[in-house]
Amino acid sequence: MENENKSAFSEAVANFKIFLKETFDIYHDTDRHATIEDIKAGVDMRGQNAWVLVFSILIASTGLNTSSTAVVIGAMLISPLMGPILGMGLSLGIYDTDLLRKSIKNFGVMVVLSLATSFIFFSVPLFQNETPEIIARTSPSVLDIIIALSGGLALIVALSRRNRSTNTIAGVAIATALMPPLCTAGYGLATGKWTFFGGAMFLFTINTIFIATATYIVVKFLRFPLKEYADANRKKRISQILSFIALAIFIPSVYFFYKLYKKSDFEQKVTSVLLDLKEDKGIGVFDVNPDFEEKTISFAVIGTNLDAKEIKTIQDKIAKLGYENVKVQVLQDLQSKQTLSRLSEIENSYLTTQQLLMKKEEQILEKDKEIFSLKNQINHGTNVSFVDVSDEIKSLNDKVEEVSFYNVLRTNFKTIDTIPHFVIQFKKEVDNAEVKSQIEKYKKWLQAKLKNEKVIVESK
């Protein structure tokens, strides 16, 4: 019975191994010679390929400028970027120096065409906005490496199959790693933002290395046929040189992956520690800037200030997570309080000024009312222009030399009375009797005209 159980278990294990082999085996379904020819045919970056590249870069640049992921993916669907890079990986794997030279040459053409196209596009001031899609391509992360490596592996595996139905999808995966960085580098050149250019080109270079490395690994794993050389010594020398170049590419790839992995891990753990701090202290934590290279963390807090002991606790927590001697720089709430205090002072000063202005406006209104009242008092009982009255006086007697007018304010301490007062000056040849007669006549005339019996008329 026991032997039967062991036999059944062994059979199940054997069947499972067969299942796994049938599921993941790609060795026997590979058309090596056809794959080599296909990759060689796609290396050339001229004619239709060159124009398609230019147009796809224009579309991708438009997508980055508008932060439209759909547009960028549309550009990737038609992009021929992967040809020269696959050629470099294949040439190293099968020791083909001619293909390597051709691939490097066309790779250079591809980069120049892409940079020139995106540079021209972003030289237009209308298209120079710093969008999130552009900023995201200025520094590499471990996720970019995974995309590039996975895309390279997917494409070379897909190309090696007899059925090529998944080639386009794998091509999009590679274009994801290559097109946005190249467009962002062109943006940096066009706008003079060299950090954008440097970061994007660094990301593009790393992605290129990983795609070529993925191609090399699959070519070696599937045992693609090596190129034949008539001279055995030359073949050996070429294989040694290209193996050294492949190793020189592979080692930096591992180093870059490790560094970017540690950078991402550092940032994630810093975020975790600061999230715990936020929940424990009930404070706001923002503007977090972890710098893996400098081993520093800077952030700002609002709500409660952190003392030296609490900052030391943060450093200890990060040290326990594997990152020692990390400097923590905290922008405390003190500056915020000082700013708020200053803003409050300015606001109070503004309100005081507004109140003073309103008070001045009220005083001006009161003065305007007083002036208006005085004008009414002046005009009370006259209702006519002084100029008109004086002209009439002159027309009635050409011996009048001058006329004066003013109001006399009189009060009995109960009411105030305004009395119009006219002073008429006659020429010297007019005797006193005539002056007296004329003054009396003008008095009656003015009292009737102004409808005011209190009008006073005197001679000068």
Please report the pLDDT score of residue 374 as a whole number: 60
CA 450 to chain centre: 78
Whether residue 402 has pLDDT greater than 50: yes
pTM more than 0.85: no
Taking residues 409-431, what's their average pLDDT?
80
Residues with Cβ < 8 Å from 6, sequence gap 6 or more?
Answer: none
Q: What is the mean pLDDT of the chain?
A: 77
Q: Over the stretch 157-184, which tens digit does the pLDDT of each residue have? A: 777 776 555 444 445 445 556 788 888 9
Instruction: For 305-315, write each residue's pLDDT tens digit.
Output: 777 777 787 77
- Residue 425, SS3? strand
CB 179 within 8 A of CB 63: no
**19-53: pLDDT as tens digits:** 777 677 677 777 778 888 888 888 888 888 889 88
In whole angstroms, what is the distance from residue 260 CA to residue 408 CA?
98
Alpha carbon distance 391, 352 (integer Å) = 54
Rg (CA), the chain: 48
Task: Write out the H or E segment, with its range, that includes residue 404.
Answer: strand 400-411
Q: Are strands 400-411 and 416-426 parallel, antiparallel or unpaired?
A: antiparallel
Please give the average per-residue pLDDT across 318-326, as a whole number.
79
The CATH label, of 3.30.2010, 2.40.160, 3.30.70, 1.20.1080, for the domain at 23-227 is 1.20.1080
> Which two structure tokens, joined as six digits, stand for 228?
């034949």
Q: What is the pLDDT of residue 112?
A: 92
Question: 452 CB contacts (<8 Å, ≥6 apart)?
Answer: 381, 382, 420
Domain limits, CATH 1.20.1080, in the chain: 23-227
Terminal-to-terminal C-alpha distance of the chain: 154
Of 376, 374, 381, the residue nearest 420 (C-alpha) = 381
- Euclidean distance between CA atoms 155 and 146, whole angstroms: 14
- Is there a contact between 312 and 326 (Cβ–Cβ < 8 Å)? no
Give pLDDT, residue 375. 59
